[in-house]
Amino acid sequence: MNGLILLGASGSIGRQTLDVAARAGLRVDAFSVHTNLDAMEEAARRFSPRAVCVTDPDRYAEAKIRLSDTETKLYAGREGLAAMIAASPADTVLNALVGEAGLYPTVWALENKKRLALANKESLVCAGDYVMALAKRQGVSVLPVDSEHCAIHQCLRAGRAEEVKELILTASGGPFFGYDKEALKRVTKSDALRHPTWNMGQKITVDSATMMNKGFELIEAAHLFSLDIRKISVLVHRESVVHSLVRFCDNTVLAQMGVPDMRACIAYALFYPHRPEAFVAPLDLAGVGTLSFARIDSEAFPLPALAVEAFEKGGVMPAVLNAANEEAVAAFLAGKLSFWEISDIISHFVHTYTTVCEATPENVSAASAEVRQAMAARFGK
């Protein structure tokens, strides 16, 4: 690995990536933040990167003052991010951006023949065929950082592609495991943000509570591993130590297990095909004791099935699903709709949107803009 470009350095995955980089002595050649200038300055002084991009251009002037006594080159905005990726001699990009905003940076990384460690699931949800075809043409790898897909990637090293019968993603179940539809109509924002296992940003935590994250992961897995989405399933696993499983043609099942710590997945993606020394604590199986598994209650949590429906409709429909989810979650966090209405609104867009065209980045942006305009008209900015 010849240097790292980290996109989204101030988020949860970004901070843990910087921890891995510091402990492993990896060169952080460049990184981006959106508005968090405190995190930017701290990381810039810690790693002395060649370049930094502040993607909110309104923060450029202050960022320039903060880095005025360093040799770090400062970029700003969307165009600056593209330029920073193109100019960097680093051979690896870790995309830890959240939401559809991560799609174009994924494309820019691949166009510049950078090896891609991907934590931004929306890149594949919105334009998976396009992204994977581009990676193949450019001759570069896409390595998953999500714990579920990282686990599957590891399990698949034990067999050939034609021997795979089923991929099984695990889900923590979020804060509402065991709730029925009526109970979910009464939950609050603070309830939804109380995840039992993982410490994540608000949007991703709500996605876990609705189980939309599992819908996205089903789509992501279908693209990453070139498998029929109907051969990918989800089991709720409350202990969060089995990160996913693969069933082979002889019906044997391999599971990848470990403590719930994303630094293991980050290190796996950055160092692949080599397995680095541990960045996380060992898993104490005796301490865990019992491992439990359960099926999703599809009446209480309809979004994973809706994601499969959107994927099978094809074209930009998964991007419509994603945009509707992003806007609905934002409205929920702003107190403009209830938790249960998130599912209803996303379902409305998937079932009424009619323009199904090829999911190029440009078409994804156009379809998403239509959804966002409709949501703005309903809820305001």
Are the CB atoms for 292 and 238 separated by under 8 Å?
yes
In angstroms, the CA 234 to CA 220 distance is: 13
Looking at residue 225, its pLDDT comes to 98
Looking at residue 199, its pLDDT comes to 64
Residue corresponding to tokens 């993603």: 169
Residues 6+ apart with CB under 8 A from 176: 183, 184, 187, 191, 192, 209, 300
Measured CA distances, 19 to 28, 94, 243, 370 (Å):
11, 14, 22, 39
Looking at residue 379, its pLDDT comes to 83
The CATH fold assigned to 4-144 is Rossmann fold (3.40.50)
Of the candidate CATH numbers 3.40.50.920, 1.10.1740.10, 3.40.50.2000, 1.20.1250.20, the domain formed by 314-381 belongs to 1.10.1740.10
Measured CA distances, 156 to 160, 218, 224 (Å):
7, 16, 12
- Helices vs. strands in the chain: H and E counts, helices first: 17, 11
Looking at residue 1, its pLDDT comes to 83
In angstroms, the CA 307 to CA 125 distance is: 9
What stretches in the chain show pLDDT beneath 50? none
Q: Which helix (H) or strand (E) holds 4?
A: strand 4-7
Per-domain boundaries in the chain: 4-144, 149-260+282-299, 314-381
Looking at residue 132, its pLDDT comes to 98
Looking at residue 198, its pLDDT comes to 63
Tell me which residue of 129, 123, 170, 132 sits closest to 151, measured CA to CA. Answer: 170
Angle between helix axes 122-138 and 212-224 (nearest 10 degrees) is: 10
